[in-house]
Amino acid sequence: EVQLVESGGGLVQPGGSLRLSCAASGFTFSDYWMHWVRQGPGNGLMWVSRINSDGTTTNYADSVKGRFTISRDNAKNTLYLQMNSLRVEDSAVYYCARRDVIVGALDYWGQGTLVTVSS
Amino acid sequence: DIVMTQSPDSLAVSLGERATINCKSSQSVLYSSKNKNYLAWYQQKPGQPPKLLIYWASTRDSGVPDRFSGSGSGTDFTLTISSLQAEDVAVYYCLQYYSTPPWTFGQGTKVEIK
């Protein structure tokens, strides 16, 4: 069974940092591109970042470029999102999701981890 | 960036009746050489992550009831629930995965029981 479990969320002050993790199981993690998507309180979904299967290619939404870094450790089956210079507007539930090449889109999602940026 | 616009923002439908949600993209998401529309539909219930319903605009994901169907091509797409059930109350999102990057979602459509 495919499982994605996020962790690392919490309360942080503006300007602070957090590192989110996403532990994957039930599939060959190193074969898949992985994504982060966030959802602000009462808001819709926003794509944040993606990384290719071997970690050599990354992309970011303009609103997080230069502040967030996506990475992965295929030996540990874990995806990361390092978030620096956090802003109030970064407050959201952060989901990791798997992209399947046959489906094209994101087929499995974790339950999410809540990040709150507030003083 | 490709802008995805859903309509309506919300709708109330009687049990057993049809629900129709539209999604319009600001540019075509049809990859002509592959003849595929890079458009997916998701269902999200409160406190849960999004669940994939439809990909390539019209292909139902495994286990999705056949009352859910997707149609359209290019810039205009539709998600139809042919006979609304109580468990279908949720927010529905379209997603374009044509651009590299960013991928963009519609703003969501809330479906309720009338």
Residue whose C-alpha is closest to residue B61's, from A115, A109, A82, A105: A105
H-helix or E-strand spanning residue B42: strand B39-44
Residue among B36, B49, B107 minimizing CB distance to A95: B49
Count other C-beta atoms under 10 Å from residue A5's C-beta. Answer: 14
Q: Which residues does A17 contact at the CB level (< 8 Å), separation at least 6?
A: A82, A83, A84, A85, A86
CA dihedral A102, B74, B105, B18 (to 10 degrees): -90
Task: Please report the pLDDT score of residue A41 as a whole number.
Answer: 87
Residues B41-91: tens digit of each pLDDT: 999 999 999 999 999 999 999 999 999 999 999 999 999 999 999 999 999
Enter the DSSP assignment of B48.
S
Determine contact: A80 vs chain B, CB below 8 A.
no
Q: B34 burial class (0-12, 13-18, 19+ CB within 10 angstroms)?
A: exposed
Q: What is the pLDDT of residue B78?
A: 98
C-alpha count within 13 angstroms, C-beta hemisphere, residue A85:
7
Distance between CA atoms of A32 and A10, rounded to whole angstroms? 27
Q: How many helices (H) and strands (E) would you count in chain A?
A: 0, 11
- Inspect the interface and report whether the beta carbons of A109 and B103 lie closer than 8 Å: no
Residues B100, A59: C-beta atoms closer than 8 Å: yes
What is the radius of gyration, based on Cα positions, of chain A? 13
Classify residue A34 by burial, with Cβ atoms within 10 Å: 0-12, 13-18, 19+. Answer: buried
**Is there a contact between A46 and B40 if contact means CB atoms under 8 Å apart?**
no
Q: Could you tell me if A101 and A95 are in contact, meaning their C-beta atoms sit under 8 angstroms apart?
A: no
Q: Does B11 touch chain A (CB under 8 A)?
A: no
A61, closest residue in chain B (CA to CA): B102
**Considering only CB atoms, which chain B residues are within 8 Å of A95?**
49-50
Q: How far apart are CA A42 and CA A117, in angstroms?
A: 16
CA neighbor of B57 nearest in space, from B78, B82, B28, B84: B78
Mean pLDDT for the stretch of residues B18-44: 97
Q: Which residues of B touch A59 (CB under 8 A)?
A: 100-102
Q: What pLDDT sits at residue A114?
A: 98
Supply the mean pLDDT for chain B: 97
- Tokens representing B11? 């709708």
The mean per-residue pLDDT over the stretch B15-44 comes to 97
pLDDT tens digits in sequence order for chain A, 119 residues long? 999 999 999 999 999 999 999 999 999 999 999 999 999 988 899 999 999 999 999 999 999 999 999 999 999 999 999 999 999 999 999 999 999 999 999 999 999 999 999 99
pLDDT score at B101: 85
ω into B49 cis (within 30 of 0): no
Backbone phi, then psi, for A60, in 5-degree steps?
-140, 150
Mean pLDDT computed over B86-100: 95
